[in-house]
Structure 1
């Protein structure tokens, strides 16, 4: 994957990096949203 990334244009690499950051942010937000809900249901039982 590294040698493939070095062959790409810097712009293309930046775009992919930005997409990866977006995915990580979405996963983080989803985790932070589901965590309190899961804790709430866990304590309600």
Structure 2
């Protein structure tokens, strides 16, 4: 009985952490892209 709640919490944390990591990567990539675009000579 103790395994099911822990597994559920573990899975929820894993998916939350995966989404957080993906969001962080996308944010950093977008920021780097826009900074690179801004540094381009016009």
- Normalised to the residue count of structure 2, the TM-score between the two structures is 0.71
- Partner residue of 2:31 out of 21, 28, 34: 34
Matched residue, 2:6 = 9
Q: Which ranges in structure 2 are unaligned for 5 or more consecutive residues?
A: none
How many residue pairs were aligned? Answer: 38
Relative contact order: is structure 1 or structure 2 higher (C-alpha 8 Å, sep ≥ 6)?
1
RMSD: 1.9
Calculate the TM-score normalised by the size of structure 1.
0.67
Q: Where in structure 1 do 4 or more consecutive aligned residues deviate above 3 Å?
A: none
